[in-house]
Amino acid sequence: MSYRAGATPLAGVREWAGLAILALPTLLVSLDMFVMLLALPHIGRTLHASGVQQLWLLDIYGFMVAGFMITMGTLGDRLGRRRVLLVGAAVFGLASLAAAWSTSAAMLIVARVVLGIAGAALAPSTLSLITHMFRDPRQRAAALGVWAGCFTVGAVVGPLVGGVLLERYWWGAVFLLGVPAMLLLLAVGPLVLPEYRDERAGRLDLPSVALSLLSVLPLMQAVKSLTRDGADATSWVLLGVGLVVGVIFVRRQRRLADPLLDLGLFADRTFGATLGGMLLFSTLSAGTMALVAQHFQLVNGLSPLRAGLALAPGMLASVAGFQLAPVLARRIRPAYLIAGGMLCTVVGLLVMTQADTSGTAALIVGFAVTCLGPAPLVTLGTGLVIGAAPPERAGSAAAMAQTANDFGYALGVAVLGSVGTAVYRANLPADAPAAARDSITGAVEAASRLPEPAAAPLLAAAHQAFAAGLHLVAALSAVILIGVAVLLAAVLRHLPPLAPPPSDRSAEPVPADNVH
């Protein structure tokens, strides 16, 4: 790491090599989330997994990542971020081997639990190490752009690579993707990654760990149950349990001298507003993306592969946006760049409202434009959230940023999915079959059992009803995002661009790295 007189230290070859190594777990955590979507049918047939077991196989990884994220971020602050990262990598590799050669659904579920816990150790450690290695704001923004781009690449290539592996090999091959990367991380990581820990940190409060899990996990399950089963008693009980335990958790954190989650960070308006904006954006984008993917397959009639290719321009636009945002941030204030990106997403959402059931062009273009907009918020927002925390709390702040994204995803699928379903049912003819009124998938199945003269009108009505739901969700998301953009522009307007003029670089030098 090199230094300029009176300025923050610049990252050197070692730091950029470290970023390349840190990109591996980021890519693989994302890839592992998406590859199961294709592998699940094969796993269900081979391991004779019941319907309940298949749901657990699909959900448990995300549950564990979200549930343990805050704990692992705080643990990294206390024990050492590199140490937690490397231990997580070793456990992830071993659990991947166990998953690949599981002999029963129960064994695979346990392996997925361990994979999720290891994944929770990787994400906040990666983010906090990037913040520690890249002190210069411009370099940090570029590094975070690479990090976010890798997550998006994982989402793009996960289903495609998974599809190729499933065609040529057995289902367990999809879990072996992470093993070589984790071996490389374990071999090279100690050479290029610095260690950082808070020497003054107290003991980890185990009751707080338990309370955080008992709060996050029921809330995650509640929003997923709302998506699958509607507002039934189980969903409300889970929601209530999660909220009550969450209140207990917050009250305990306020009393502890060394809390698991430093609630004092929320006193910083930049931290609170940015984290809230990231949560809302994740919620709205996830719900819209889920409906778009369904529209391509169930309304436009595309195969899963062709639907994935229709989503690909959006994913590529996202990768481009993450590389462009740090460059623009050198001349544009974060407030206006973030707000401008969100307004770009609003334009894409409005294009989606013009999509019809006969073609895919408007939907492909609209989705691509929406994916171009999130880059400034994710790249600069993540840096603002972590930068607002003191260095010894960077791991905890990184965990909160990642948890906001994960929880927002589940919340968006549940809430906006429910809104889309309500509009779909309201727009169907009153005499539509019960299966068709339940979902558009039910309408397709019901139509397949009817003669052609009766099937065509039912399908046409279902397609129009589903499109109406997507249009309303896109319009509603656009309105909310305009409000969020205005709020963030107001709260963050005092922040300068990432390339302040030379006269502003006379501040005290940043202390050298706290390496142990």
pLDDT value of residue 514: 42
* Domain termination residue (choose one: 259, 279, 304): 259
DSSP classification of residue 2 = B
**171 and 218 in a common domain:** no
Mean pLDDT by groups of 10 residues along the chain of 516 residues: 54 80 75 66 76 70 77 79 89 91 89 88 80 78 76 66 72 82 86 75 74 81 67 82 90 81 78 86 79 81 73 82 84 90 93 84 90 86 77 70 72 74 83 76 77 80 88 92 92 78 40 40
**356 and 317 in a common domain:** yes
Q: Is residue 55 part of a domain?
A: yes
Please report the DSSP string for 81-110 in residue order: HHHHHHHHHHHHHHHHHHHHT-SSHHHHHH
Q: Is residue 406 part of a domain?
A: yes
Q: Is residue 510 part of a domain?
A: no
Q: Is residue 200 part of a domain?
A: no
Contact between residue 458 and residue 446 where contact means Cβ atoms under 8 Å apart: yes
pLDDT value of residue 23: 81
pLDDT value of residue 162: 67
Contact between residue 242 and residue 215 where contact means Cβ atoms under 8 Å apart: yes
* Residues ≥6 apart with Cβ < 8 Å to 430: none
Q: Is residue 426 part of a domain?
A: yes
Closest by CA position to 485, among listed 265, 273, 285, 269:
273
Q: Is residue 38 part of a domain?
A: yes
**354 and 252 in a common domain:** no
pLDDT value of residue 159: 61
Q: Is residue 513 part of a domain?
A: no
**477 and 394 in a common domain:** yes
**269 and 247 in a common domain:** no
**279 and 243 in a common domain:** no
pLDDT value of residue 36: 67
**374 and 254 in a common domain:** no
* Domain termination residue (choose one: 214, 239, 259): 259
pLDDT value of residue 512: 37
Contact between residue 52 and residue 103 where contact means Cβ atoms under 8 Å apart: no
Dihedral in degrees, nearest 10, Cα atoms 245, 246, 247, 252: 90
Q: Is residue 505 part of a domain?
A: no
Number of domains in the chain: 3
> Residue 302: exposed, middle, or buried by beta-carbon count in 10 A (0-12, 13-18, 19+)?
middle
State the residue range of the domain holding 252.
205-259
**399 and 447 in a common domain:** yes
Here the tokens at position 302 are 């595309």
**214 and 178 in a common domain:** no
